[in-house]
């Protein structure tokens, strides 16, 4: 575990996600899982910011549009939630783009829609690399 970035924070977030999945299972929509996860993060004393806006730029120009990840935990980890049968490369590209645009180093792509268990994929943004961790 020593090679992982933010191992303790990730472990706590994963635990909260497992608890939500244990109680809700799959079959609900993303907003329901987000609300449940926010409640669980709060119960476990995990700091989070829902729907935090990050600015975007293009060739040095700030865009009017922002990107809004589902949650940012501990102020350092982006959580992108899904409720789909299977994660796709499009979902992975979304979190990679979020990491690059925010400058944050770790993202968790969390899928509550998978059966029979939750899917959690880690993504790293470090030293010119941005992709699966």
Q: Residue 113 region, left (φ>0) first, then alpha (ψ -120 to 50), else beta?
A: alpha
Q: What is the CATH number of domain 7-132?
A: 3.40.1350
For residue 116, say if its preceding peptide bond is cis, omega within 30 degrees of 0: yes
- pTM listed for this prediction: 0.93
Q: Is the pLDDT of residue 128 over 90?
A: no
pLDDT tens digits, residue range 29-88?
A: 999 999 999 999 999 999 999 988 999 999 999 999 999 999 999 999 999 999 999 999
Spell out the residues 6+ positions from residue 68 whose beta carbon is closer than 8 angstroms to its own: 51, 52, 53, 54
Question: How far, in Å, CA of 114 to CA of 122, rounded?
Answer: 16
Of 21, 17, 7, give the one whose Cα is nearest residue 106: 7
58, burial (CB in 10 Å: exposed 0-12, middle 13-18, buried 19+): exposed
């Amino acid at each position: 575990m020593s090679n992982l970035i933010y191992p303790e924070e990730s472990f706590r977030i994963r635990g909260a996600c497992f608890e939500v999945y244990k109680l809700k299972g799959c079959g609900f929509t993303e907003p329901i899982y987000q609300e449940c996860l926010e409640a669980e993060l709060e119960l476990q004393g995990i700091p989070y910011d829902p729907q935090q806006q990050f600015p975007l730029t293009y060739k040095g120009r700030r865009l009017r549009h922002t990107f809004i990840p589902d949650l940012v935990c501990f102020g350092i980890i982006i959580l992108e939630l899904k409720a789909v049968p299977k994660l796709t490369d499009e979902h992975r590209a979304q979190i990679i783009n979020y990491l690059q645009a925010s400058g944050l180093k770790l993202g968790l792509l969390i899928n509550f829609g998978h059966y029979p268990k939750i899917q959690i994929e880690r993504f790293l943004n470090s030293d010119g690399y941005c992709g699966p961790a």
